[in-house]
């Protein structure tokens, strides 16, 4: 089923979760922050949320953190590419009517901003009208950073937001 509205998608997802509430307990706004390893397997995961720290035991733990946080903390060997792929701060702009000139015009101003030092890095831009006919999803910022390092991740978010604002204003 095609769901063009992100908020509607969230409501449908909530409903799906509630339909399976006998077997499935979901905690939003919770992060895994530590693991306990016993006899070579992850025996428990420590999660942090508004309840504080909670220890969750499981027969089987599936790490879906994207960065492999749980596997990494459990001591599994991991590799990361060198150089790391830069990070992208996406953003969306409303009330944009796309024309064939939109993308080349955007690219031109971003090249100028880069040459004049207002924008250190950028990509594309990728301009996608996927969420609404008049809403432009912009995939254009590029921040070199290591998102598995808390301080670097924060620095990248601040830089990404600044670059997104620069691109929006260009």
Ligand X SMILES: Cc1cc2nc3c(=O)[nH]c(=O)nc-3n(C[C@H](O)[C@H](O)[C@H](O)COP(=O)(O)OP(=O)(O)OC[C@H]3O[C@@H](n4cnc5c(N)ncnc54)[C@H](O)[C@@H]3O)c2cc1C
Structure tokens given for 2: 């095609």
From the list 9-17, 61-69, 92-100, 113-121, the region that binds ligand X by CB under 6 A is 61-69
Q: What angle do CA 85, 170, 165 make, to 5 degrees?
A: 60
From the list 16-24, 54-62, 63-71, 105-113, the region that binds ligand X by CB under 6 A is 63-71
Start-end of H helices in the chain: 6-19, 69-73, 102-115, 150-169
Q: How many residues are recorded in the chain?
A: 170
CB of 116 to ligand X, least distance (A): 25
d(CA 69, CA 67): 5
Mark 72-91 with x for binding to ligand X (rule: CB under 6 A) and - for no binding: ----------------x---
Q: How far is CA 56 from CA 36, 61, 75, 116, in A?
A: 10, 10, 19, 53
Among 5, 13, 54, 65, the residue binding ligand X under the rule CB under 6 A is 65
* 13 forms part of the interface with ligand X (CB under 6 A): no
From the list 17-25, 65-73, 96-104, 129-137, the region that binds ligand X by CB under 6 A is 65-73
Residues lying near ligand X in the complex (CB under 6 A) are found at 31-32, 64-66, 69, 88
């Amino acid at each position: 089923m095609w769901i063009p509205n992100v908020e509607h998608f969230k409501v449908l997802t909530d409903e799906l979760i509630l339909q399976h509430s006998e077997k499935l307990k979901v905690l939003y706004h919770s992060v895994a922050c530590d693991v306990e390893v016993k006899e070579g397997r992850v025996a428990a995961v420590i999660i942090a949320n508004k309840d504080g720290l909670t220890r969750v035991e499981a027969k089987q733990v599936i790490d879906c953190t994207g960065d492999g946080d749980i596997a990494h903390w459990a001591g599994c060997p991991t590799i990361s590419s060198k150089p790391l792929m830069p990070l992208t701060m996406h953003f969306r702009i409303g009330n944009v009517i796309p024309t064939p000139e939109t993308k080349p015009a955007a690219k031109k101003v971003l090249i100028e901003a880069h040459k004049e030092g207002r924008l250190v890095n950028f990509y594309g831009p990728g301009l996608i009208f996927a969420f609404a006919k008049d809403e432009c999803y912009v995939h254009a910022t590029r921040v070199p950073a290591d998102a598995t390092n808390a301080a670097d991740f924060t620095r990248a978010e601040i830089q990404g937001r600044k670059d997104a604002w620069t691109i929006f204003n260009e």
